[in-house]
Amino acid sequence: MTLNRREFARALGAAAAGTVALGRPASGDAWETGDAPGRTAPFQLSVMLWTVFRDLPFEQRLEKVAEAGYRAVQLVHEYDKWSEEDFRNANRKKRSFGMGFDTAAGLRKGICDPAERDAFLAEVRSKMPVLDKLECSRLIVLSGNKNPDLPLREQHQSCVEGLKRAAEIAAERNVELLLENIDPEENPKYYLTSVAEGFEIIGEVNHPRVKFLYDLFHEQIAKEYRQSRIDPHCGRAGAS
């Protein structure tokens, strides 16, 4: 059976909520709950906010996610039209729930086409003050769609060079860039559909501010990677 993104998020959410409620170990450790004070999981789970409670206002969606036991959310375009007051209110509300905005997306330019390099870098620069307003230190980077007129190897190298240039911008603001693959079923035109190539690109960039966003949803669709192949790359993964 193949799940869509919202069904996949609900399934994970239900499983995680059950773990929190029962205080059972997750990957060797328990979540920090009243049943297991002081014990935490070895990683933090966050929710991509657009996938859940889409009929509710932003602040109520945060509240629902907090009630489910999560302490972080990922934002995509929720903040695009926010005023300065909207940013302040969102940060105030998230703090009241003990939450954070751990990752933001929203870049419209990709990195696989060198012709888009300057526009991509300009967009990365423009996102830095927005991340400051969100109190967020991670930005998702997309490869963009394939250019049928360019050899695949040139597009691979463009990803490497684009990330190296963007890393210089991100490092100045202590921001981490996360490169995301997307499965070919969701977007058959997208360049980076391979987890293996994603880790290869990150290795070639070799910068502490550039990591791979290992997306379990896209892995579930593509069925490319398994745990035994992920483990050697854990240090290069910034989120999942």
Q: What does the pLDDT look like over 115-156, one tens digit per residue?
A: 999 999 999 999 999 999 999 999 999 999 999 999 999 999
Which residues, in sequence order, are CB contacts of 98 under 8 Å at separation 6+? Answer: 66, 71
Instruction: State how far the Cα of 141 lies from the Cα of 166, in Å rounded to an integer.
Output: 10
Q: Give residues with Cβ within 8 angstroms of 34, minimum separation 6.
A: 23
d(CA 199, CA 217): 17
> Is 108 buried (19+), middle (13-18) or exposed (0-12) by CB count in 10 A?
exposed
Segment 93-122, tens digit of pLDDT:
999 999 999 999 999 999 999 999 999 999
How would residue 39 be classed by pLDDT, with cut points 50, 70 and 90? very low
Q: Residue 85 is which amino acid?
A: E
> Domains along the chain?
1-43 (no CATH), 44-239 (3.20.20.150)
How far apart CA 194 and CA 184 sit, in angstroms, is 9
Tokens of 70: 């999560």
First to last CA, the chain: 21
Average confidence (pLDDT) over 82-96? 97
Mean pLDDT of 40-47: 67
User: Distance (Å, rounded) from C-alpha 195 to C-alpha 218?
Assistant: 9
Q: Give the tens place of pLDDT for each residue, 14-34.
A: 444 333 322 222 333 333 433
